Amino acid sequence: MSPGKQDDGRPVVPCVGAIVHDRAHRLLLIRRGREPSRGLWSVPGGRVEPGESLAEAVEREVLEETGLQVRAGREVGRVRIDAGAAVYDVVDLACALLHDDGVPRAGDDATEAVFADAATLAGLSCTPRLVETLGGWGVLPD
Residue type, 8: D
Q: Would you name the residues annotated as active-site residues?
A: 112
- Please give, one letter per residue, the 3-state secondary structure of 54-82: HHHHHHHHHHHHHCCCEEEEEEEEEEEEE
CA distance 67 to 70: 10
